[in-house]
Amino acid sequence: MTRHSVVSTPPSILIVDDEFGLAEMLREMLRDSGFEVTLAINGRLALEILRAGKVDLVLTDMMMPVMDGAELAAAIRSDDRYRHTPIIMMTSLPTVFPRPGDLFDAVLRKPFTPDLLLATMTACLTRVGDSAAPGERQSGDDRQMGSEDSR
């Protein structure tokens, strides 16, 4: 009988934010929590990174130069290869926009706590992993997660 070892790779997170200090802080925190992390300073660069490798979850800011978070999310959702990749929006915009839906799996209002971020990421990754067959992700309507407020 042959023994098979299962090697679990950490989830790959793409952080998209033009605020370098915040992006670096998030990268260090997520690396310390066991994630693989890549940074992009705008949506256009994020799409290039997404197309070049494996990304399990996108954590993006809303307001950025070149391509903002909503444009990035729309581009991801319009591509069959990536459309089911979980996207968490980070924003300081008023609560009326953006809301989770077809573009975002969750919206985190800045500032948020590390615990809230990790719980939200875990929920998004678990929903995708639990409901999808290998190589498949679930549809947009089933992935929605409500807006969180860290107050």
pLDDT score for 76? 96
pLDDT score for 92? 86
SS3 125: helix
pLDDT score for 101? 75
Q: Would you give per-residue pLDDT tens digits along the chain (151 residues)?
A: 444 445 578 999 999 999 999 999 999 999 999 999 999 999 999 999 999 989 999 999 999 999 999 999 999 999 999 999 999 999 888 765 666 677 899 999 989 999 999 999 999 999 876 554 333 333 333 323 333 333 3
Q: Which fold has domain 12-143?
A: Rossmann fold (3.40.50)
Alpha carbon of 65 to those of 43, 61, 69, 100, 137: distances in Å? 8, 11, 10, 22, 30
SS3 104: coil
Cα-based angle 108, 99, 14 (whole degrees, multiple of 5): 50
Domain residue spans of the chain: 12-143
Quote the CA–CA distance of 114 and 120 in Å, as a whole number: 10
What pLDDT digit, counting tens, does each position of 105-114 carry?
A: 999 998 999 9
Alpha carbon of 44 to those of 29, 113, 145: distances in Å? 24, 27, 25
pLDDT score for 7? 55
Report CA torsion sign: 115, 120, 125, 127: positive
pLDDT score for 150? 34
pLDDT score for 48? 96
Q: Specify whether the CB–CB gap between 104 and 143 falls below 8 A.
A: no
SS3 39: strand
